[in-house]
Amino acid sequence: MDKKTILLKAYDCDSGREAIEAAGRILREGGIAAIPTETVYGLAGNALDPAATAKIYEAKGRPSDNPLIVHIAAWEELAPLVRRVPREAELLAAAFWPGPLTMILPKAPLVPDTTSGGLDTVAVRMPRDPVARGIIRAAGVPLAAPSANRSGSPSPTTWRHCVDDLWGRVDAIVESHDCQVGVESTVISLCPGPDGKTQPRLLRPGAVTLEQLREALGEVAVDRGVLERLPEGAVVHSPGMKYKHYAPAADVILVKGNSAAYGEYLKEHRAPGEYAMCFEEDLPLAGEPALSYGAAADHAAQAARLFDLLRELDRLGAKRVYVHAPQVDGVGLAVYNRLIRAAGFQIVEAEEKTEIQP
Ligand code: AMP
Ligand code: MG
């Protein structure tokens, strides 16, 4: 691939006005562009134009059965994309839109099969990032925007990550802030069950937490793929969850257990030069080389640093990395969900050897 890529600078809607208009024009005319959102950078194209979405799959090197999320800038833009807007969608939009939450609903004929990956449902999100919404408005069409990385590599959370992965493969890259959230949106299905009633089901955890969704809706089921590897041949409700994903070149091993157990595990198993990716508090126990991805209790910081650190490990030439697993409450569930995929499901339980006397 050898496309002419331009860099457009838009750190806010005032100083970036011209860049936002230029990106909108490229997208309206069928081109593709990497754009900032609060979750990760997205590789955007007109969601209603199969030729544009084909370009997205090609630039990413992504399997085309993997559906794309459709990004809108205003509530009224949802109705034409779906067959019906259930009460649950209104409740969630009131609480979390604009923001890092994607809703899956039965799709209207307007949405091409190439966008929904052949499914009869569509994923829709309204991003909070003002530059993202400015670009959607300037384009005048809903934008399909999967993460702006080459398929398989960690999602991009800075404009430089997009340049590393997509320069020469897309029409434009929008230079803007680092992503605040750092992991992809929470995905919830609001499709009806056999009785016609909406059955809320969490397909991918993100910054809008399971606890928050349950507060808004009551019962919310959790898809098996959120916390574990799906067995061969299982029904996959969220196609993105079946691949090894977000992975650096290094061999990643996810280590569960408290700080002391993690430290002991490293002492026993790590060969010279192998990395620890750990919490701030682990650093005194983790030896060298070690990188911290935030305090153990600060899941938001872990999410914000996660993908940049995975890329950093590649830059450092790490061959093997022992990552200390986060707790799975709140945003920790999203961090854990990405890490088990980055580790290709290599997960170990570390046990503390020394008895602690009360
Ligand atoms: P992203 O890479 O952030 O664009 O994530 C897209 C992911 O959202 C896909 O890989 C799926 O896991 C999920 N998704 C999108 N559309 C659907 C859909 N119609 N049904 C189920 N999951 C979907
Ligand atoms: Mg992705």
**How high is the pLDDT of residue 356?**
57
Ligand 1 atom with minimal separation from the 240 CA: 10
Question: Ligand 1, atom 23: nearest CA belongs to which residue?
Answer: 238
What is each CA distance from 26 to 33, 45, 141, 281, 321, in whole angstroms? Answer: 8, 9, 12, 47, 40
Q: Which residues line ligand 1 (CB under 6 A)?
A: 66-69, 104, 116, 119, 121-123, 146-147, 184, 187, 203-204, 237-241
All residue ranges of the chain with pLDDT < 70 are 232-245, 354-358
Planar angle of CA 304, 230, 161, nearest 5 degrees: 30
Side-chain half-sphere of 104: how many Cα atoms within 13 Å?
24
CA of 206 relative to ligand 2 center, distance in Å: 13
Helices (H), 48-173: 50-60, 87-96, 113-116, 130-139, 159-166
Residues 215-256: pLDDT tens digits?
999 999 999 989 888 776 666 666 665 556 677 889 999 999
Tokens of residue 103, six digits: 């809703």
**How high is the pLDDT of residue 246?**
72
pTM: 0.94
**How high is the pLDDT of residue 1?**
73
Tokens of residue 177, six digits: 């802030």
Tokens of residue 201, six digits: 């089901």
**How high is the pLDDT of residue 235?**
65
Spatial strand order of the sheet with 251-256 comes to 290-292, 275-278, 320-324, 251-256, 347-349
Contacts of 189 (CB under 8 A, 6+ apart): 103, 104, 121, 199, 200, 201, 203, 237
